[in-house]
Amino acid sequence: MPIPTADPIIVAPTNMPLHDDESLDFAALARNVDRFCGTALSGFVVGSYGGEEFHMGEPEKIAALKTVVDAHHGRRFVIAGIDTLSPTEAVRLANIYAETGADMVRVRVPPRAGDGSRQAPIQDYFERVTRDSPVPVIVIHQPKTPMGVDVTPQELADITAFDNVFAYIMSLNYRYECRMAPFVNDAVKFWSCNGTLLMPAGIIGAVGACLLFGNWGPHIARDIIRACLDRRFADAQELQLRINHMDYLGMAWGVGVQKTGLNLMGYEGTVPRLPNLPLSETQVAEVREALIEARILNADGSPAPQI
């Protein structure tokens, strides 16, 4: 399908199912994608932290991307994740991913080294990437520390003014992003990065989201952003409070929660790739409780309808 223009757009890091020998289970990945195409999820993100980006090599990422592209059969769109300090490498990857079928690339703002005086301006990085990428670019601000900052308001204004920028994904540093939001170019979509921040991001102008919670409740994420766009803040708050427990577990326990949640919902989430370990029985029980609280699972633990 063409990249959607109507908001809200909700995308999520795509889980990578594994065989017992830790090789990627591409058949399970394809089955999961086919099922996701019947939900409110707008598109898939392949090669992101929530999808075990740092546990996969480039050949695996390309093979996984091709699997997702083939499995959605034009019903959704695909974003390929890029995380590199070099604009030359970012452009190389963008071309490979586009040839494989990616509709967009998500490019992380490179972290500053020291005071930044020994680095080229960040605008130079994104001018090169946006100019030479064959597909639209999504800029993500995701510093290594939750309260970190890798881009200034003026830099963001300059970056999002370049042609070929589709969206900006805010960081977890909400206080800082409240200041950043007005500097995002009007032609560029402003997206939340996190389930707990859906309503707060909606209040400052977010029209979509790229988030781990999208694996479990894309319809809820959509409805929170939609309620904010419609200024139905009481409705947004009711939904937000319902999902905070589940999103907190994802932030606290990592990719094991992504996989456990999907397993409980009937997907083939499997287990994390080492060194990450599966959740304990106690943790699995709490994930089940949080999914029931969010009304993603029914009280008996069966999957609830996602509409």
38-93 pLDDT, tens digit per residue, is 999 999 999 887 777 788 899 999 999 999 999 999 999 999 999 999 999 999 99
Locus of tokens 């394809």: 30
User: Which residues have C-beta within 8 Å of that of residue 69, sequence separation ≥ 6?
Assistant: 78, 100, 101, 102
The C-alpha atoms of residue 135 and residue 113 are separated, in whole angstroms, by 28
Nearest to 148, CA basis, from 200, 117, 111:
111
Candidates 3.40.50.300, 3.30.1490.20, 3.20.20.70, 3.10.129.10; correct CATH number of 9-233? 3.20.20.70
46: β partners: 80
For the record, the structure tokens of 116 come out as 């930044």
Break the chain into its structural domains and give their ranges. 9-233
Phi/psi zone of residue 288: left (φ > 0), alpha (ψ -120 to 50 degrees), beta?
Answer: alpha
Query: Residues of the chain whose pLDDT is less than 50?
Result: none
- Per-residue pLDDT at 35: 97
Count of Cβ atoms closer than 10 Å to residue 142 Cβ: 20
Q: Look at residues 196, 201, 225 and name the one whose alpha carbon lies nearest to residue 213.
A: 196
Distance CA 164, CA 135 (A): 7
